[in-house]
Amino acid sequence: MAKKETILVVDNESDQLEMMKEVLGRIGFEATTTDNPKEALQMVVNHAFSLIFIDLIMSEVDGTDLCEQIKRLRPGVCIYAFSGHAHLYSPERLERAGFDGAIVKPATMEEIKAVLNRALSRASDSQPTF
């Protein structure tokens, strides 16, 4: 049996973490979740995730800062902003931080599937999708 793709979700809202873990599990992915950005960085050091979703507005750190830190550790990892406040960030700012795209909360299962398909099948030279 093939190994499941693993996805990291970083969000300070526990209900969002639970929802993403359930949705990703239903569509065949293993989700690791955390509400702690420092823990997320340690997880990235120890595990090669297929995709990472990061909330943009968290109490401890801005999601753009966390994305930049993760990209320094794992430059090739695909990271999507996952926020109800993405409109507060310009596409240029998100791209500069290293995000490969953004998905707006609340997201439907179909929207999440579409992001997964794009993110996991993208060529290494593909452009971000904002």
Q: What is the pTM of this model?
A: 0.89
| Assigned fold of 6-19+30-57+65-121 | Rossmann fold (3.40.50)
pLDDT tens, position by position, 56-94:
999 889 999 999 999 999 999 999 999 998 889 999 999
Domain positions in the chain are: 6-19+30-57+65-121
Burial 33-51 (b: 16+ CB within 10 A, else e): bbbebeebbebbeeeebbb
pLDDT tens, position by position, 19-28:
999 999 999 9
